[in-house]
Structure formats: structure tokens, C-alpha cells
Structure 1
């Protein structure tokens, strides 16, 4: 950090995170992509943690009549005059989400070629649209989701399985809209920004197959009820494929991405006199392993001035995973941060933050946490053993006990993980 810079690294980290979240707000991303007024009806549907805020942005910028229904996470509703907002559970689905999914399909049935469906999709939509295929119960879906989330599978793998057990995902919602035009606006929360992985792609074609889903189940040794296994083995759960004519009038636009969020954070750092380096917006893998790798890079910068000169900040995004072995409170961002801290072992000049841009890391109403050179020392002074916390998957418990948790409340958007490692000049020691 420049010698005349007085901003504390913790303040800089928080400002970068807030800038990342602000860059992905629906109020900024939705208006430029609104469709022309149709001859018939405009029906707004959607799902995800940002869907209610997206619907509000539509209403504020749409000059004509509209109607619709979107489902969002409990606590993420915002006022809308014409689009009904339903709240449901995430990450484990509930009956409210199931009922909302059924009603969304009813809303888009019987439309004509003069009508347009505006579909608003963001991260969290998979759990919020838990409409199972015939022969699958909500309890089955909940059990499979729980097992997948604990397995260490990537989000792409998890959503592949979800698509092939769903009556609304994997392009099925778009097929139900036919012959109406469908415009889908997406806020991406997945590495690579693949539309079929965002909320399991309810309005986009799915090139994956039941055989692919079954291979994932076997790879991670997921126990499936026989009824679900039969759906995959028989091919009865096959999703809508790219050549399906019902998707011919469907258009998809991604309006906010992890890359955009990281670039906004980079601008904040540059203005503070800290050179930003974006290492990637699609980093996956076990959270603790990614933490070890990032710690190695940061230590090399401190010790050798390579590959970057200080002061600098290393920014990255994506979606790591956690194979749950302990009984701690999670989640993946704080697990990354705790692993990073264990390897750094109090190394001077290195400060970091990791958090989920939706404000919820894992199952906790906590976005993430902050790490400083004295974090481990403060933990030891309280009798907290960092490695034990890591082995127990208890990042939230660890950082919460140190008052280093970052709590934002609902951010009304979701572009996945945010990680920032600030490395100061020696003069700032």
C-alpha cells in the first residue's frame, strides 16, 4: 500500500466486497435488457435469491401492463405491485417452493405466439423450484440435495443430477411456455457462466443426459431411493435437448457475472493505491485446497516479490466445495479462509476476506469472514485450535468466536464466492 494511504486493510477488504455486490445488483443489470412490448401479454416468472429484486427492477422500468410470479429465498422479498413474490427455503427445498413451481407452470400454460415470458433467474433457483418428476417426492428431493451438498461434487455436477429429477428444470419451463417467446435474464453464480447450470437451466437446452447424472451419483457414492434410480437408469428423466423446436423462440442474456463483480472490486483497490490482480472468476475445488494454494502464492509474494510486487491484492471468484467430515457450522468461504490462515501461520503483511456475494455462506446467515496476521494468535489465546476447527468444518464457529465474521443480511443478488488477499508493503508492518 502506498505510504500516504491510510485506509486500514480490513476497511479496504470490506469496501471491495461491497463494490462487488453492488456491481451485480438487478437495478443496474435488468433495465438494458428488457424486451420490446409484445402484442399480447408480458408474463414475468423466475426463481433465485435475486429474482424478487429483478422483478422490482422490471416493474420500475416497464411502461405497460405485466403480471407474474417469482420465488425467492426467505428474507429476500422486496415490494412489487404486479408480480407476486413467493418466499421459499434454500438450500434445502420446502413445500412452499414446490407449490410456487407448480403455480409458475400454470402461469405460462396456454400462452400464444403473441405473448412474451420474461424469466428472471439467479443463483438459488434450483432449490427454490423443487418440482419433482412423477414418482419423486419432495422428501426424495430434499434427501438428494442434502447428500449432493455434502458430497464434494461441483455445482455443475450437482445441477446435472437436479435437472434429471425435475419437472421444471433442464429446459422444461421454456417448453411449457411454447409457443410464446421467452427471454431469460440471468445473474450467474456458477463457474464458467454456463446458462444450463444457473438454477439448473429451467429455460435453456440441456446437452447432458440421464446417464451423465447417474455417473455423478455413482462417482460420489450418493444413495438414491430406488424410484429415483429407476428414473435415471430408464432415461425417463431426460431433459429438453438443444434441437427441441419448442426452444426456437427462446433467448438468454447474462446480465451480471462473477467477473463483473471482481472488476468492480479491482477498481476500488486501484483507487486506494493497491494494484489488483484477478486470478480467476471460475475457481473450483475443495475450499481448503484452494486456501492452501492461495497461501502459497501470497507467501511467495511476501518473501520474493514474485509474481507480483507489493502492495497488491489477489482477487478470485468461483465456487469451491466442501466434503463434510465434521459437524461444524461450515461454510465453503470460511473454510477457504481458515485453511489459508493455517498455512500462512501469522505471516506478516497479509490480510484477507472471503465471502458469498448473496450474504449467506453455507447454511449460516453470515456472508464470510476476515483474516489478519494476528488471527491465529487471537484464536490460541481463547483456547481455540485452528486446525481442529478446520478438520471439523467449523469455519463459522472459528471466526464468529473472534468477532471476525462478516454479516451483510440479504444482498438481493448472487454472483458466487468473493476472495481477496491484500499484501502490504514492508513499510506497513
Structure 2
């Protein structure tokens, strides 16, 4: 009986040999990592996410499960780096019912799209949507404020018969500056900059920013009342918190001036803020009185996240499977210093590449490191379990995926960004893990196509990078100390490590890809 049963047992080694037929033998690990990243970016293109979020049958549209009737009553506003492409697709779908629109987009975006051949992300000729470019260098300016005033004016004129479609993406906060009178735009900027310089948290900064703005913290929805408001949101914030994306203009937030004053006092700024700020914050109680707030909340406001890091990674995982890998999503909110994040990926690679059961100290260090890089213990345990099964049961190559936005402590004067520095630091961690053909391969890339003040979005590295650098006389540690990762990658003779996708037209934070090849088979 035992001999008969053994015939039906799984044959992991034979199964592994079958899986490793050279379906992708002509495609390097580097190329496959880049394709996985490109797929993630394609999944969150502004026109794609809008098209997938609006279902139309004649004069009825369905958004996020809500059915809405169109009666030549549609108005559109938007603000953010990806909003022009979102608006172009919304116009294609709904133009016959569109009355008027105003969008606030980055300075020079229309010309940039034309130069890159992305005309499908531009509005049609004679569009009823007005485009205002502003926020040069990603900072609120007079043009952005002009756009905010027009958006407020449009929203304020709506009735209960109207439908306001609001398009929001990363960068929307800078493109929708509307300080509460008599505060000037410059005064508001000075207050938030001084708070940031004093070490205020992002939550504290948003508390103050919302209180000094007419449109943030639900202000736009308030002015649009009693119209139906539907916001389509492309998220660039970890966890997709609606009140933080572009400071939540369609998310009703109860703002108490006393809370804002306590934040300013905490950082010793209360006595030095402009008189106009003191005047606005000197009024006790919430910004809106109870009746106003309840009236705005009675209006049906639908907030739908239609593009996010999660959606990008899901699509990337499907592509990784097509390319011969078993996809594993680690976490969507990797954060913290790149030094710690690089150690995380180095330890995970060690854990996965161990020929035998990995030493318990690796798992212990991973669990200690988790809280410092924003990764939950449960997610680390789940990932290690999958990696352990992949190794012990012969499941073959693995693609570990994660997203987030790590940080870099700037000490030098070099050129680069968080993705390039993370990739370089991970390369140092991967030394000695020489699984064929190139050992583990790691990619870190910004979905917005730009990593710091460079043309690159990130970089691709592997276990052989340190040896390559030594051969060429390049001191990796020296470049890292100077925060000069872009210069390092540019000096490599191969010249093919940088990730340069060009204009991506989207932004859902960063994507990390760790490809772990199949272990060698000894037959």
C-alpha cells in the first residue's frame, strides 16, 4: 500500500523542472523587473482608472455602486498632477451632459503631454472645461489660487438638481490654495513652512492647513451643497486616507480653531504668526456653525478611490505570474529611513535564498525591524511563511512586491532620490547571494516617473553590483554618504541600471520589486 501511495504523492522536484522550461529564457531578470514596474504604472493611468470607474447606460451612470441620472446637469472640477488625463477621459464618456468645468493642473503639463505623444490625455478642442496651469515647482502660487477661486465660484452656484464631478490626484493640495480671508497666500505658506521646519507631524500640518483654507477639509463639498458631489480620487498617500489626499476637500472634517492654536503653541509659533491668522483663529468653536455643517453633510457626497498603490501592485502581481514568478505582496505602506528599508529587503532575500532552513535570527531581526519600516508583524510572518514554502517545496522563482514612500536623511550634496538610494543600499545587502543567473534582483521606482531632481524614477540592482563597482573603482559607500546615487549609477560602464520611464502621468507612490530566482537543482 505504501508503494502505491507513493506513486500519487506530489513530485516537487519534477514539477519544478517542468516549471523551469525556458519560456522566458530570452528575457533577463532585469528586464522582467522593469516589465513588472511598467505594468504597475499602466494600471493606474489617469484615463484608465476613470474609464474603469464609470459605468454608463444611456443617461444613467454607476460609480462605486451608486446610480446617478444625467440631465444636462453635470459640472466638473479637478486639481492634481494627473487630473488633466482624468478630465479628458471623463469628457469622452460624459461630454453630452457636461455643462461646465474648471481644472487646476501643473504648470506646463499640456505642452509636456504633447511632446511625449500623449495627446489622448488632452482635452478635445472647444472643450467646456477650462484649464488653468499653476503651482510651478509644486508650490502654491497666484495661478493656482485663481483656479481655486473659479472652482469655488462654480461649486457655489450649483443647485439640488446638479451633479458635481470632482477629480483629485496627488499634488492637488498645492493646486487648490484658497486661504481664509484676510489671510494671504504667502502668509499661509509661511505658517505651514515654519511648522514643518519646527518638526510638526503631517497630521499637525494638515490640521493647520485645513483650518486656514476655505476649500480643504470638506470646504469644497460645503460650497457645492445642495448638489450631488462625486469625487474620483487617485491616491498618493499610504493607506488612502480620504482626509489627507489633497487635504480632503470633499471630506467633511470638523475643524476647531482651539485645536489649531494648541498646535501653534506647541511649536512656540503662536506669538509670531501674522495678525490675519490670529484674527481667523480667534473665533471660538468650529469653522462652520452646526447648522452649516449639518446642511453640507446632508448632501450625498461619494468619495471613491479609483487608483492607488494597491491597484498598481495587484496588476504587477498578475504580470509577474505571467513572467514565471510566484507573486507575493509584502505590504502597501513601507516607510521609514531607506537604511532600515534596505536592511528589510536584504533580510528577506537572505531568508528566501537560504539553501536550508534559514537561521532563526533572520526572522527575529525582521520582526524587530517591522515597526520601524511601517510593516505589520502579521504581514512579515505571512511573507516568511510563503517564502519558506517556496524554498522547501520547490515552487520556483518568487516576485516580492511592496509599495510605500521611504525617506532619506540628507547629509551630502549629491544628486539622486529615495528610490535610487534605496536600490543602491539594497545592492550592498545582496552581496554574496549569487543564485544564478544574477542572484536576487531589486527594483525601486516612483510611479510618477521622477525620483528627486533627476530624469530617473529609480534604479535596478542585483547581487553582483558591488563587484561591478569595485572593478570600476567606484566607492559605493562614498556615493551613499554624499546622497549621490544618481551620479553612481550614471558612472557605471554598463549604463543600464537607472529606471527612466519618462512621463508617466500618474502617481501612486513607489513600487518595490524583489525577484528571487529559482534555487539551483542538483539531479
Using the size of structure 1 for normalisation, the TM-score is 0.86
CA separation of 1:244/1:288 partners in 2, compared to 1, >3 Å: closer, same or farther?
Answer: farther
Report the Cα distance in structure 1 between the residues aligned to 2:168 and 2:214, rounded to whole angstroms: 17
Q: CA deviation at 1:297?
A: 1.1
Residue matched to 2:361 = none
Q: Which runs of 5+ in 2 are unaligned?
A: 1-18, 56-60, 62-67, 111-120, 359-383, 391-395
2:93 counterpart of 1:33? no
Q: Deviations over 1:319-374 (max 9, x none)?
A: 22334333333422223223322333464311111111121223444322111223
Question: Structure with the greater relative contact order (CA < 8 A, sep ≥ 6): 1 or 2?
Answer: 1
Aligned to 2:371: none
**Helix, strand or coil for the counterpart of 1:127?**
coil
**Equivalent residue number for residue 228 of structure 2:** 181
Give, in whole Å, the separation in 2 of the partners of 1:241 and 1:386: 59
Tell me which residue corresponds to 2:381: none
Aligned CA distance change for structure 1 residues 284 and 237 (closer, same or farther; 3 Å): farther
Aligned to 2:76: 44
Matched, 1:246 2:296: yes
Structure 1 stretch displaced more, 142-151 or 176-185: 142-151
The separation in 2 between residues aligned to 1:221 and 1:2, in whole angstroms, is 63
Distance 1:267 1:215, change over 3 A: farther
Structure 1 stretch displaced more, 386-395 or 163-172? 386-395
Q: 1:65 to 1:92 in 2, by over 3 A?
A: closer
For structure 1, the 5+ residue unaligned runs are: none
Does residue 112 in structure 1 map to residue 159 in structure 2? Answer: yes
1:79 aligns with 2:122: yes
CA contact (8 A) 2:236 2:509 kept: yes
Match of 1:13 in 2: 33
C-alpha distance in structure 2 between counterparts of 1:72 and 1:118, whole Å: 16
Instruction: Pick from 56, 60, 68 the counterpart of residue 88 of structure 2.
Output: 56
Q: Which stretch shows the higher mean deviation, 63-72 or 85-94? A: 85-94
Inter-partner Cα distance in structure 2 for 1:144 and 1:327: 27
Tell me if the contact between 1:90 and 1:128 (Cα under 8 Å) persists in the aligned partners.
no
Task: Name the counterpart of 1:425.
Answer: 518
Q: Render the CA deviation track for 1:49-84: whole Å, top value 9, x for unaligned.
A: 211111011011113233211122245434212222
Q: 2:440, 2:516 within 8 Å by CA — same for their partners in 1?
A: yes
Spell out the pairing of 1:21-420 with structure 2 (5 A cutoff): 21-31=41-51, 32-33=53-54, 35=61, 36-39=68-71, 41-62=73-94, 63-77=96-110, 78-80=121-123, 81-88=127-134, 89-134=136-181, 136-140=183-187, 142=189, 159-206=206-253, 226-227=273-274, 230=278, 234=282, 244-249=294-299, 250-303=301-354, 304=356, 307=384, 308=387, 309=390, 310-345=396-431, 347-348=433-434, 349-402=439-492, 403=495, 404-420=497-513
Contact 1:283 1:320 in 2 (8 A): yes
Please identify, of 118-127 and 83-92, the stretch whose mean Cα deviation from structure 2 is larger.
Answer: 83-92
Q: 1:259 to 1:219 in 2, by over 3 A?
A: farther
- Distance in 1 (CA, whole Å) between partners of 2:263 and 2:484 is 27
For residue 209 of structure 1, report the CA deviation from its aligned partner.
5.8
Q: Number of matched residues? A: 428
Confirm or deny: 8 A CA contact 2:254 2:286 kept in the other structure.
Answer: no
CA distance in 2, matches of 1:340, 1:73: 33
Residue range with higher mean Cα deviation, 45-54 or 57-66: 57-66
- 8 Å Cα contact 1:205-1:240 kept in structure 2: no
Looking at structure 2, the residues matched to 149 and 384 of structure 1 have their Cα atoms a distance apart, in angstroms, of: 36
Offset at residue 222 of structure 1 (A):
9.3
Question: Per the alignment, do residues 113 and 279 of structure 1 end up closer, same or farther by CA in structure 2, a change over 3 Å counting?
Answer: same
Q: Note the C-alpha offset of 1:276.
A: 1.0
Q: Measure, in 1, the Cα distance between the counterparts of 2:400 and 2:329.
A: 6
**Distance in 1, Cα, partners of 2:289 & 2:243:** 11
1:366-399: CA deviation from partner (whole Å, max 9, x where unpaired): 3221112233334445554323333333333333
Are the aligned partners of 1:40 and 1:114 in contact in 2 as well (CA < 8 Å)? no
| Matches of 1:318 and 1:165, distance apart in 2 | 29
How far 1:220 sits from its partner (Å)? 8.9
Cα distance change of structure 1 residues 279 and 163 upon mapping to structure 2, 3 Å threshold:
same
Q: 1:279 to 1:133 in 2, by over 3 A?
A: same
Conserved 8 A contact 1:370-1:405: yes
2:243 alignment partner, SS class: helix
* 1:77-107 alpha-carbon deviations (Å, 9 max, x no partner): 3421222223323533333222222222122
Q: SS in structure 1 opposite 2:174?
A: helix
CA displacement at 1:150 relative to structure 2: 7.9
Q: Give 3-state SS (helix, strand or coil) of 1:362's partner.
A: coil
Structure 2 counterpart SS, 1:268: helix
- 2:368 aligned partner: none
For normalisation by structure 2, the TM-score amounts to: 0.72
Report the Cα distance in structure 1 between the residues aligned to 2:289 and 2:414, rounded to whole angstroms.
Answer: 40
Take 2:451 and 2:97, find their aligned partners in 1: how far apart are those partners? 38
Larger radius of gyration: 2
Report deviation, 1:225.
5.7
